[in-house]
Amino acid sequence: MSTAKFKGKWIPWLFLLPTLVILLVFLYYPVIQTFRLSFYRVAFLGLRTKFAGLDNYINLAQDSGYHHTVWVTIVIAAAVVVVGLAASLAIAMLANQKIRGASVYRILLIWPFALSPPVAGIVFLFMFSPGFGVVNYLTELVIGTELNWLGNPRLAITLIIMASVWKNLGYNIVFYLAALQNVNTEVLEAASIDGANNWQRFRKVTFALLSPMTFFLLITNITYSFFDIFGMVDILTKGGPLDATNVMIYNLYRDAFEYYKTGLASAQSVILFLLVVILTMIQFRTSGRQVHYGG
């Protein structure tokens, strides 16, 4: 079989040049600058820089407020990943049933992913706002009182988790549905003949065959829970109340663009990046061993 070849050795690079320029300007250069500025004290708008060595990292290591921010981030991220994947798989299992109008149900389940995080945050803000939110109206009917979702620290964390899970639900369902539709039915039939009940077939067969997709979604959801929940936090709670929802990405934003602590914010960005990398590596070392590819 003949393969197409470029006539000149520079032509492939010419086609790649626009992409390489965009990556260099908007990805690689900012990343390099972030690492560099994390070792500097930066004056307002970057008018003056002074080398500070590891001072920014030492200040963060000694800051109890930042320790709280890291802990809040890990708690919210863990809840978003676990609850999100469990709910998505359960819904995908139901949506995979052969019933009339299944395609309509699947589209309705997927559409929240089309919304941007700030829009999703606005939806939840209207639903849970005191005084006129529909959720508080229902809670007043059921338990006789409204809940202060935006003013109570525990309720605020719960609200951020619910909004973040709902926003990413469609993404997870799409992949789980695709994986479920490719599960080898002969294996399930063999397990049924051997006497396995529904729960045993799901746990021993279906979930095992879904392990590659679960592993992929685990990694993508970890990244989502650390970075993409910024919009929900900014719209719903602004990091409050009492910094109860002040996750690392939002704390970084405030230090960079509200307090103009560019060097400190750069150090936080590096820490956040390394934390996600470490968690991903741990997942590859642990969960990756349980992944089985192929039927």
Q: What is the mean pLDDT of the chain?
A: 87
Give me the pLDDT at residue 186, please. 80
pTM, to two decimals: 0.87
pLDDT tens track for 277-286: 898 888 888 7
What residue spans define the domains of the chain?
Answer: 64-290
pLDDT in tens, 84-128: 999 999 999 888 888 777 778 778 888 888 888 889 999 999 999
**Strand, helix or coil for residue 157:** helix
* Residue 157 pLDDT > 80: yes
Residue 123 tokens read as: 């939806």
Is residue 28 scored above 80 in pLDDT?
Answer: yes
The predicted pLDDT at position 23 comes to 93
What's the Cα-to-Cα distance from 77 to each of 98, 110, 159, 217, rounded to whole Å? 34, 22, 13, 14
Examine residue 12 and say whether the peptide bond preceding it is cis (omega within 30 degrees of 0).
Answer: no
User: How far is Cα 171 from Cα 196, in angstroms, rounded to an integer?
Assistant: 31
The yes-or-no verdict on residue 129 having pLDDT over 90 is no
Task: Give the pLDDT confidence of 231-275 residue by residue, as tens digits.
Answer: 999 999 999 898 999 999 999 999 998 888 999 999 999 999 999
Class assignment of domain 64-290?
mainly alpha
Long-range contact pairs involving 122-125 (C-beta distance under 8 Å, separation at least 24)? 122/235, 124/159, 124/162, 124/163, 124/166, 124/232, 124/236, 125/235, 125/236
Query: Which alpha helices (DSSP H) does the chain contain, by range?
Result: 11-23, 29-37, 55-62, 64-95, 102-110, 117-128, 134-143, 153-180, 185-193, 198-201, 207-209, 211-227, 230-236, 248-257, 262-285
Evaluate the CA torsion angle 193, 197, 198, 202 in order and state its sign.
negative
